[in-house]
Structure 1
């Protein structure tokens, strides 16, 4: 596939379907990693996940655009995007052991706000005063969720916000690369970066020399490798299939539909996080958390709605 390929056909309905499916698939991976986070390091799970994903991603690449689509003038940019995705998901994953799932997901939903902000800074899009106010309100919701004035400040609450920012940056990149690169190629190189980074981390941290950490996020990041049970190994490997499917579904969604159309459906992830948090850990957001969640989601949905109407009526 080259820059001379026909323009990418936009399909909002399929884009929404891809995104909802991708969010549902990835929510299962969140559940698995949170369940495993007390016994194994993240880099061990990522190595097994990424190795398992390779044949599935290669098959997807071959089916969608051929293996030659992995090596194009945009390959370097796809690898750089993979690095951004690695930062996004690593920050998100290591937040999971320290925070309730609903809190982690809600703070990650700062991503649509960041997407709008970055669209101004990078894509030079126009944002009117009402959308700026909505963005400000959304970040107020983030502050409420982080609770910086609490008796014990939980620094891990900043990790999903960092993840949301990095994810927004990667999706802005996907909008540009999607014109000439396939969704499967983008997903393959994202997985390749994950594997390379996880192998480096394992070489440095795998012995457990830095694993004596009391904080659950640091323990999940720095713990040494452990011999998994057969069931736990299968869970880690299943994340490879989940990642292959999820990465492709999400990337395809942003390739074939406008971000302002599909992004609101990212919020379906909150439903899964509340269900899983209650079912597995009896965690339920308190009144303050629900308030922050409502502000973040409300602001994000308003921003996205204004983006859809701005073409006809400046915001």
Structure 2
């Protein structure tokens, strides 16, 4: 696999933009439908699109890959990541959720050092501390504004980071289309299974929006809502493929910082569609977390330049 950082950056930024639209759609649906229903419809629509992509890239025979186990593990991890994130935005403003989710690039950079052999620089550790301070400010622990769904966002970031690190392990032998196909298949199977488990468990929402989004029974959607869920399938197909391709083409720590481009889009959708105005602490926390990610990137680039012979 040939590395192409410039193309990887473009794929990542475009994928983030496309995925941000899905955040707004699912938040709008969270008052009426179950997250498992929305994910299932999305995955059904995405399936034929991904089959076409797999065939177009000549990867159809690789669907029975020898690394199917690792592909499946990554797909299940991402199912957990996106479920946690979607449940969190049902209870939180989009700007708050994305600000906390921005710890993902820092986690990716750290995991890249641990598992991909990227050499750490002292600025990386300073960036992690700065990012942690930003998370604390955004969370406002102990204040009335604190929302326990924030923990779901942080868990989503950790799971997402782990999955993207696995892409670097898979990228040498698997195409982005195959990686995305396995991911969508896990969503298509996992969401209905989770819905059955939740329904049989007798779990109730207890008045919390996140829990209600998980436990709400499936209902027949309106035509408009069906189109929105189906639209998520198109968005997911494009977004998952673009992100998988990005992390195949460049070291995780070098491009993960461009995940921060979501700061442009997600708060914008929150303002336009839900009249959400970011809190001052959210802005400050997001600035610190983004700054930490940039600081870590600079440190990694410096360490790489020092390590390379002149």
TM-score over 0.5 for the alignment?
yes
Give 1:238's aligned residue.
231
Per the alignment, do residues 13 and 129 of structure 1 end up closer, same or farther by CA in structure 2, a change over 3 Å counting?
closer
Helix, strand or coil for the counterpart of 1:31? helix
Q: Is the 8 A contact 1:209 1:224 kept in 2?
A: no
Q: Which has the higher helix share?
A: 2
Gaps of at least 5 residues in structure 2 are none
Equivalent of 2:90 in 97, 106, 117: 97
Give 1:5's aligned residue.
none
Q: Is the 8 A contact 2:109 2:253 kept in 1?
A: no
Give 1:179's aligned residue.
172
Q: How far did residue 75 of structure 1 move?
A: 1.0
Give 1:286's aligned residue.
279
Q: How far did residue 211 of structure 1 move?
A: 4.4
Q: Is the 8 A contact 1:205 1:224 kept in 2?
A: no
- The alignment covers a number of residue pairs equal to 307
Q: Distance in 2 between matches of 1:278 and 1:205?
A: 33
Give 1:134's aligned residue.
127
Per the alignment, do residues 207 and 32 of structure 1 end up closer, same or farther by CA in structure 2, a change over 3 Å counting?
farther
Equivalent of 2:156 in 163, 166, 170: 163
> TM-score if structure 2 supplies the norm length?
0.95
Q: How far did residue 273 of structure 1 move?
A: 1.0
Equivalent of 1:273 in 247, 266, 271: 266
Deviations 1:144-179 (A, max 9, x none): 111222136311011111111111111110011001
Q: How far did residue 50 of structure 1 move?
A: 0.7
Deviations 1:264-302 (A, max 9, x none): 221111111111111112212122111111100000111
Q: Distance in 2 between matches of 1:77 and 1:87?
A: 16
1:1-315 equivalence runs, <5 A? 8-151=1-144, 153-205=146-198, 209-313=202-306
> TM-score if structure 1 supplies the norm length?
0.93
Over aligned residues, Cα RMSD in angstroms? 1.6
Q: Is the 8 A contact 1:40 1:220 kept in 2?
A: yes
